[in-house]
């Protein structure tokens, strides 16, 4: 990672220390700490792991109950700092809401106004740029209610790109996208991540492996592992083996395209060990919950 | 384009900003509920205050006119509660334009409609009046303001708990519940006094003033930046994070 100045002389654009968040009796985040500089950071975890809560804290729309947050060298608990962060922030929520009687252009333009872009010609130029980056130039005049779910997610992505943000937070951005759209998305995010910080939450381990320089695996509000994608895969080294059939000792097994069974769990002595993937490591890290979700 | 995002600090930029917000906000607002409520209010006031008796012996007294306008005020408040509904509230919560300003723009856009409707309803209710005593229009306008701001406050407070930020859907039943509950207040604290000559009328409208202030305070609290609330409670809170595994080896 190259790292850019965060405005305060440091290279860490996101710094969280001991973040805690509760919703009534539910502890959504329990002492989460992480640092991120320029590049793409992937958040992996099962449903309810606390990923969305963490992203909402990073997007300054939720305040933690305890812990320290520094974003772009500023403290979001101070209102002036929060305003400055918001001017340099892009956020795509997991379930974006729209005014469905707006066209894609009108909606992104509305968001641009809320982003304080009041100079109309320059704003329209920026809206066109964001729509083009998201591959929406051909449908920019269509009403949002007439767009497919995947297209709507791209509209949400387009609004997050307005103003060329230094910190981009994307919550499940590839959910509902078809394979071609996902590849286009990877290409775009990969280019954007060259000179800014992108935090992506996803269930797609392939996206993390393909895009992210850093991965944070979460479960039940805690960080289980922080490292490179290969570090996640390494967790499963020695725990993945191939066999001609489903091994009863395996916690999870499936038949591969070659007709053999890929087993994950505690490998028996003499087993034919396989090269682990990030998915294997993730499944072992997250444990029973991920196994039950995957099954 | 980053220069285009730093303009709100300029003097007068806020006015320019609000000016740009007006058109899309008008299009984004739900106008059907307040317009329907206004129509129902007109019909209700017209029917309830229609006097078929001779002017020398009117059947419609001031109590009936007060009741008709009070019901109209409740209808208008119910309709107005939908103007804050914003399905994009979560999607746009991270943007620099504060929530209170977005809501103020919406209220500012709906206020003229409400004022004009009320200004037409009062003479409609008074059209056949031969009573020489002054009618308490100001007191009833205070009730309308308090009811409407309560409706907005309830809508704003419940927006984050209702799918797609549709706080107006929750505000209707809650407001009706509050109005029903107010009818069971002790006599000396009665809010809905019907006869303007009743000795409790003045006391009731002192209470209405308090209700209005409470509504404004609730609306302001509900429109604060959601990103600041908890840190205000724990300004210096810091808990050591549990050590995460770094790398896997």
Residue B241 to residue A32, Cβ atoms within 8 A: yes
Q: Which two tokens stand for residue A267?
A: 């490998």
Test mutation, A4, A33, A62, A63, chain B, max B CBs within 10 A: A63
Residues B99/B92, Cβ–Cβ less than 8 Å: no
- On the CB side of A41, CA atoms within 13 Å amount to 27
Residue A250 pairs in a beta bridge with A265
The model carries a pTM of 0.86
Residue A71 pairs in a beta bridge with A14, A74
Which of B175, B169, B168, B177 minimizes the C-alpha distance to B81? B168
Q: Strand A214-219 vs strand A197-202: parallel, antiparallel, or unpaired? A: unpaired
CA A40 distance to own-chain centroid: 9
A222 CB neighbours in chain B (<8 A) are 242, 244
Give the one of B27, B94, B248 whose C-beta lies nearest to A61's C-beta. B94
B228 Cα to chain A: minimum distance (Å):
6
Q: Beta-carbon neighbour count of residue B7 at 10 Å?
A: 17
**Total count of residues recorded for chain A:** 295
Residue A98 to residue B28, Cβ atoms within 8 A: no
**Who contacts A147 (Cβ-Cβ below 8 Å, separation ≥6)?**
A104, A139, A155
* Sequential pLDDT tens for chain A (295 residues): 334 444 444 467 899 999 999 998 889 999 999 999 999 999 999 888 999 999 999 999 999 999 999 999 999 999 999 999 999 999 999 999 999 999 999 999 999 999 999 899 999 999 999 999 988 999 999 999 999 988 899 999 999 999 999 999 999 988 878 888 888 888 888 988 988 999 999 888 888 888 999 999 999 999 999 999 999 999 999 999 999 988 888 888 889 888 899 999 888 988 899 999 999 999 888 875 555 555 5
CA distance A238 to B20: 61
ipTM over 0.90: no
CA distances from A114 to A55, A117, A118, B76, B110 (A): 20, 7, 9, 29, 20
Q: Which two tokens stand for residue B117?
A: 């409707």
CA distance B141 to A16: 51
CA distance A231 to A252: 21
Give the one of A62, A122, A225 whose C-beta lies nearest to B245's C-beta. A225
């Amino acid at each position: 990672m190259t790292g850019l100045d965060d405005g305060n002389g440091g290279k860490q654009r996101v710094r969280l220390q001991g973040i805690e968040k509760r919703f009534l009796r539910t502890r959504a985040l329990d002492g989460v700490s992480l640092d991120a500089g320029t590049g793409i950071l992937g958040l992996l975890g099962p449903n309810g792991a606390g990923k969305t809560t963490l992203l909402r804290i990073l997007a300054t729309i939720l305040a933690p109950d305890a812990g320290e947050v520094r974003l772009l060298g500023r403290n979001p608990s101070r209102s002036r700092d929060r305003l400055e962060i918001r001017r340099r922030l892009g956020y795509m929520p997991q379930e974006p809401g729209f005014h469905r009687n707006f066209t894609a252009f009108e909606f992104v333009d509305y968001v641009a106004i809320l982003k304080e872009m009041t100079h109309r010609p320059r704003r329209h130029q920026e809206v066109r740029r964001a729509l083009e980056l998201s591959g929406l130039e051909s449908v920019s005049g269509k009403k949002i209610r007439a767009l497919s779910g995947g297209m709507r997610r791209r509209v949400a992505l387009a609004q997050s790109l307005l103003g060329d943000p230094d910190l981009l937070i994307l919550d499940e951005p590839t959910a509902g996208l078809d394979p071609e759209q996902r590849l286009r998305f990877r290409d775009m995010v990969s280019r954007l991540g060259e000179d800014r910080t992108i935090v992506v939450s996803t269930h797609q381990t392939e996206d993390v492996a393909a895009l992210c320089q850093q991965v944070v695996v979460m479960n039940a509000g805690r960080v289980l592992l922080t490292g490179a994608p290969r570090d996640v895969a390494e967790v499963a080294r020695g725990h993945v083996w191939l066999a001609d059939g489903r091994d009863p000792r395996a916690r999870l097994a499936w038949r591969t395209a070659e007709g053999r069974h890929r087993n994950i769990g505690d490998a028996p002595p003499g087993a034919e060990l396989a090269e682990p993937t990030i998915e294997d490591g993730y499944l072992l890290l997250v444990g029973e919950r991920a196994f039950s979700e995957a099954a | 384009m980053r220069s285009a995002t730093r303009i709100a600090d300029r003097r007068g930029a806020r006015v320019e900003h609000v000016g740009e917000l007006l058109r899309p906000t008008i299009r984004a607002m739900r106008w059907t509920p307040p317009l329907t409520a206004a129509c129902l209010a007109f019909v209700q006031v017209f029917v309830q205050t229609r006097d078929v008796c001779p002017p020398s012996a009117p059947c419609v007294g001031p109590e009936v006119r007060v009741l008709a306008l009070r019901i109209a005020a409740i209808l208008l408040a119910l309709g107005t509660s939908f103007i804050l509904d914003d399905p994009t509230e979560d999607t746009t919560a991270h943007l620099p334009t504060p929530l209170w300003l977005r809501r103020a723009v919406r209220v500012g856009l709906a206020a003229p409609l409400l004022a004009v409707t009320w200004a037409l309803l009062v003479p409609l209710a008074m059209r056949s009046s031969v009573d020489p005593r002054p009618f308490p229009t100001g007191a009833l306008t205070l009730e309308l303001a308090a009811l409407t701001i309560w409706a907005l406050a309830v809508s704003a407070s419940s927006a984050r708990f209702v799918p797609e930020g549709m706080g107006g859907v929750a505000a209707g039943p809650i407001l009706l519940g509050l109005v029903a509950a107010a009818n069971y207040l002790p006599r000396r604290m009665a809010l809905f006094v019907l006869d303007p000559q009743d000795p409790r009328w003045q006391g009731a409208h002192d209470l209405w003033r308090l209700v209005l202030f409470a509504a404004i305070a609730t609306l302001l609290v509900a429109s604060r930046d959601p990103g600041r609330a908890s840190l205000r409670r724990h300004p210096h809170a810091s808990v050591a994070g549990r050590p995460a595994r770094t790398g896997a080896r």
